[in-house]
Chain A
């Protein structure tokens, strides 16, 4: 699975309350989550995410299990999230809804183009190619299927 986007840098330990605040959860309207994603971190960020690759610090997505956090990031147009580590529930949630996550210690340069290939296991930026920690075979299968809903539709 290949992809590309423009780097948006975020700090470490971004919790899911920060990704999408509790006050926006009581709806099934996904556009609301996309509109308010990262609002409490930077209210201007949501509008800049289309076609981006978020490059964050460690422990991205910690805290609440709210899947709306992963959905909000994807619906806002983020192509993938790169971080040295992810909180484990967010990790599963993102793959389950078809949002690629990449574990890598990449240094972020705001606005620089980023290319990646998850199947081959690399991410490239600033003319340099970095290896990434591979997803487990099951997670790769789920991601390639487009998410866990599609995976189970195909596997039942």
Chain B
């Protein structure tokens, strides 16, 4: 009787195993150091038949000539080594992996902490650093300690203005920033099946903010349908009874809109408690909340109105952007006074395109509010798309329930 993590890694929790990596991806940030390490290891061609890829999303397009030169070298390597390569504007690596690429049961490693995101498909997806990625490029394999799992039991459905982001902030608040360190989170129960793939991706994405190594959902009919639409026939994964290290229970109907206040993701408060706090910027996007369903929800709430504060909306991928153009969602967002950025990570990590000034306050749909992350002296409040929309219209933190 195994957890999903144990089943995919093929060993009991606590064991150390070497495993072939089905997919290994890096981005313009981590790829540069990975390439340096790979060369130093004596790398000349790619290892076993893993699916290797590099995605330019962190500083896309390049913000200055130093970055452009580093990207030039990495782009050249990706093309010459016949890796899958997605250039600036294609979108965030985790999103691209989630548009019909990662499949249930796969072992996926990304050189980025939010590589936990595609765990939503029933894959064991985890983040590593640049040198680990270099070794995977070299050998096609890496070592894992099979994690114990925390069972996150979900029942019911969201009510009111609450959404997956609010549940994610709820569980991070409950576990704390290291409540799941060295462990996997496994989202189970009838409530998990009620969630769309986009909602599952949000919950998997935030798992690393509780220290988790992975955040998994069992593939079910929703997964099968989503992947079928994208050209893959997969079977659902049937849970078996198993032992969890710890267990959490959430009724989705009890979830209320929350914000994580500076500078910790686990310090969460009801939006109501912060209502009226003046904002300098609202940011909607990232690997957490930059999907089409997020943009569509945001557009519904701001359509025909005007934002009261500078608002940046960045689609997570080109596919998201194109769909938003086709359906008119993008027009509604632009008409409301928002600025649209190139698909990618945007200002989330504080490199470019929308960073904060000293003393500025931002309500962001991203996943980290660490001190100075989005700019020295800036303060980041993390919230849902609905909270971002309500707040963009008033220029202050506003509950979507009040809007």
Instruction: Scan B234-271; emit 1 where CB is below 8 A from any A CB, else 0.
Output: 00000000000000000000000000000010000000
Stretch at the interface among B3-11, B37-45, B79-87, B329-337: B37-45
B97 within 8 Å of A by Cβ?
no
Which residue of B has the minimal Cβ distance to A58? B178
Cβ distance A42 to chain B, nearest Cβ, rounded Å: 12
Flag if A18 contacts B371 (CB, 8 Å): yes
Bound Cα distance from A153 to B66, whole angstroms: 30
B182 within 8 Å of A by Cβ?
yes
Which chain B positions have C-beta within 8 A of A59? 177-178, 181, 211
Kindly identify which residue among B66, B113, B182 contacts A65, using a CB–CB cutoff of 8 Å.
Answer: B113
Flag if A152 contacts B138 (CB, 8 Å): yes
Which residue of B has the minimal Cβ distance to A152? B41
Kindly identify which residue among B182, B351, B370 contacts A63, using a CB–CB cutoff of 8 Å.
Answer: B370
Bound Cα distance from A152 to B42, whole angstroms: 8
Flag if A64 contacts B349 (CB, 8 Å): yes
Kindly identify which residue among B30, B59, B66, B178 contacts A66, using a CB–CB cutoff of 8 Å.
Answer: B30
Bound Cα distance from A70 to B33, whole angstroms: 12
Stretch at the interface among B100-108, B123-131, B187-195, B289-297: B123-131
Which chain A positions have C-beta within 8 A of B29? 25, 66
In residues 111-141 of chain B, which contact A (Cβ within 8 Å)?
Answer: 111-113, 115, 127-132, 134-135, 138-139
How many residues on A have C-beta within 8 angstroms of the other chain's C-beta atoms? 39
Bound Cα distance from A136 to B113, whole angstroms: 22
Which residue of A has the minimal Cβ distance to B68? A26
Which chain B positions have C-beta within 8 A of A137? 16
Flag if B350 contacts A22 (CB, 8 Å): yes
Which chain A positions have C-beta within 8 A of B349? 22, 64
Cβ distance B250 to chain A, nearest Cβ, rounded Å: 23
B23 within 8 Å of A by Cβ?
no
Instruction: Scan A122-156; emit 1 where CB is below 8 A from any B CB, else 0.
Output: 00000000000000111000000001110011001
Which residue of B has the minimal Cβ distance to A156? B42
B372 within 8 Å of A by Cβ?
yes
Flag if B16 contacts A148 (CB, 8 Å): no
B99 within 8 Å of A by Cβ?
no
Kindly identify which residue among A13, A28, A65 contacts B128, using a CB–CB cutoff of 8 Å.
Answer: A65
Cβ distance B343 to chain A, nearest Cβ, rounded Å: 19
Flag if B113 contacts A89 (CB, 8 Å): yes
Bound Cα distance from A61 to B71, whole angstroms: 26
A87 within 8 Å of B by Cβ?
yes
Flag if A152 contacts B182 (CB, 8 Å): no
Which chain B positions have C-beta within 8 A of A153? 40-42
Which chain B positions have C-beta within 8 A of A97? 131
Which residue of A has the minimal Cβ distance to B115? A65
Which chain B positions have C-beta within 8 A of A115? none
In residues 60-94 of chain B, which contact A (Cβ within 8 Å)?
Answer: 66-67, 70
Which chain B positions have C-beta within 8 A of A93? 128-132
Flag if A149 contacts B59 (CB, 8 Å): no
Cβ distance A118 to chain B, nearest Cβ, rounded Å: 17
In residues 1-58 of chain B, which contact A (Cβ within 8 Å)?
Answer: 16, 29-30, 32-33, 36-37, 40-42
Interface centre among A23, A68, A88 (most CB of B within 10 A): A88
Flag if A65 contacts B42 (CB, 8 Å): no
Interface centre among A21, A58, A65, A137 (most CB of B within 10 A): A65
Cβ distance B132 to chain A, nearest Cβ, rounded Å: 6
Bound Cα distance from A17 to B263, whole angstroms: 11
Which residue of A has the minimal Cβ distance to B130? A67
Which chain A positions have C-beta within 8 A of B37? 148-149
Bound Cα distance from A154 to B71, whole angstroms: 30
Which chain A positions have C-beta within 8 A of B33? 28, 67-68
Bound Cα distance from A34 to B5, whole angstroms: 37
A7 within 8 Å of B by Cβ?
no
Which chain A positions have C-beta within 8 A of B200? none
Cβ distance A21 to chain B, nearest Cβ, rounded Å: 6
Which chain B positions have C-beta within 8 A of A156? 41-42, 138
Which chain B positions have C-beta within 8 A of A64? 112-113, 349, 368
In residues 9-53 of chain A, which contact B (Cβ within 8 Å)?
Answer: 13, 15, 17-18, 21-23, 25-28, 40
Which chain A positions have C-beta within 8 A of B112? 64-65
Flag if B41 contacts A149 (CB, 8 Å): yes
Which chain A positions have C-beta within 8 A of B127? 65, 89
Flag if A62 contacts B41 (CB, 8 Å): no
In residues 72-131 of chain A, which contact B (Cβ within 8 Å)?
Answer: 85, 87-89, 92-93, 96-97
Apart from A25-B29, A149-B40, list 4 A-B contacts with CB within 8 A. A17-B371, A25-B351, A87-B178, A136-B16
12 A-B contacts, Cβ less than 8 Å apart?
A26-B59, A65-B30, A65-B112, A66-B129, A67-B131, A88-B181, A88-B182, A92-B128, A93-B128, A96-B129, A97-B131, A148-B131
Residues in A lying within 8 Å of B, measured CB to CB: 13, 15, 17-18, 21-23, 25-28, 40, 58-59, 62-68, 70, 85, 87-89, 92-93, 96-97, 136-138, 147-149, 152-153, 156
What 6 pairs between A and B have smallest CB-CB spacing?
A: A59-B178, A93-B129, A96-B131, A67-B129, A22-B350, A65-B113
